[in-house]
Each structure stands twice: as structure tokens, then as C-alpha cells.
Amino acid sequence: MASPEKSPTLLEIESLRAGYGRTAVVFDVNLTVNRGEIIAILGHNGAGKTTTLKTIFGLLKPLGGSMRYAGENLAAQSYTKRAEGGLSFTPAERFVFPDLSVAANLRLGAIGVKSKDTREHQRKLVHDLFPLLDERASQLAGTLSGGQQRILSIGIALMSDPKLLLLDEPSLGVSPKITQEILTAMRRMANEEGRSVILVEQNVAYALREAERVYVMRSGRTILEASASEMRKREHWWDLF
């Protein structure tokens, strides 16, 4: 049997049950994420997608089921420990420090990274993926456009040197051009750096452009797992949602 470090599976979730307080809104979620893989979670509003991400990251406590990350029990770790272990979460809301410069925002993203070489590698990587953040380094984050702030929020997450990025609705309130820029950057991260991504989206077309596999959620449950190529062949998706 392969050791956890050598296993291609980075995250494995079985029969996850989660919610707010004792009220469950996620009842039975099952999914796996491999190293260097982008998966998409699709579903309508209220399906439990964001709750699932928050539970993976540790902002919510699971009510049942199991979560294993790099072979270890994820539920036993605080969200701080999960971040140190390579998890990052970018919420659907714009998450920047508006009164600080773009460069200062990025530095805060790397505050938990001890290695100076790693911080410098991530800084160069972020500027390569998103040249705008280099060009606007001295600009206050709060003066950026909504789409630019979304890019910055992802840059902040990347500065933490994540192994698994949790992205919640990156297309929400963002132009198609910026959405595609973000998704293209995620594909480069997966291909060139072996990082994994869980992409929560309502925009099916965008999600299917870059994801390898897709999970569909409905009423707090995963009801379908399919390859992105299989999903692209479907004539419609309304029956799933």
C-alpha cells in the first residue's frame, strides 16, 4: 500500500454531514481530489456548496462523515493548522484589505510562510500569473475595480503556498474576461506546480473549461460524479439542478 505522501489522492471526503450549529444543510457529500487536479462542484443556490468548502477549510465543524487530507484526519485540525498544511479558501465575497496597498495585501498572504525563498517564489509566481498585481503594487486595494479585487484575493491565497485552493464562485460579479484569466491561472497552477483546486461555480460553462472532473450537488448531497468531457457532451443540465 502506498504511503500517504506518495498517494495521488490529496483529499478524500466520505459521507460528510455539515451545517450551522446543529442544523445540517449538507447531508451526504462524497468526493476526492487528486494532486494537480481541478475539480468543479456545481449546483443551485442552497445546494450546500459553500458550506462544504467552509467545512473543508475548518470554518465549520462537520456533523458527521470523514475528511482526510494528505492521509491525515482533517476534522481533528484547526483551520489555522489546515492553512499551514497547504489549504487556502477564497470566499465569494471580495476579500482584500482595502486600506493597504496591493503589495502589502500580498505580503499579508504570506505571513505564515517561514521560508524567505518560498515567499519570493510565490511573489514571482503571482506576478507572473497576474501581471496587474505587479503593475498596481503601490495602489490601495480598495481603489481597485471589483474584478481586480477578486484577482488580488486569489493572489493573497496563492502567497500562502497552498497545495489545495478552495475557490468559491470566482465568476460572481466579475467580467467574463477576468473570470477566464482566473481560470487559466488555475490551470497553469495545476499543470506547472502540481497544485489542486476545488472550484465551486454556478456558471457551468466556465467550470467545464478547466476542470477534469465534476461533482453535482443537490439539496446537500452529491448526486453525480462525471468527467468534464462527459458533462460537456450533455445537451442540457437542467435535470441535474
Q: Tell me the average pLDDT across 189-210.
A: 90
Q: At what angle do helices 102-109 and 146-159 cross, to 10 degrees?
A: 30
Q: Tell me the average pLDDT across 140-150.
A: 94
Sequence-separated (6 or more) residues with CB below 8 Å from residue 132: 148, 151
Q: Tell me the average pLDDT across 18-43.
A: 95
pLDDT for the residue numbered 161: 95
pLDDT for the residue numbered 6: 52
Measured at the CA of 225, the angle between CA 223 and CA 227, to 5 degrees, comes to 150
DSSP state of 239: G
How far apart are alpha carbons 90 and 139 in whole angstroms? Answer: 21
How far apart are alpha carbons 85 and 160 in whole angstroms? Answer: 10
CATH topology of domain 1-86+163-171+199-234: Rossmann fold (3.40.50)
Average pLDDT, the chain: 91
SS (H, E, C) 55-71: HHHCCCCEEEEEEEECC
CA atoms within 13 A on the CB side of 25: 16
Query: CA nearest 151: which of 109, 121, 185?
Result: 185
Confidence band, pLDDT 50/70/90 cuts, at residue 7: low
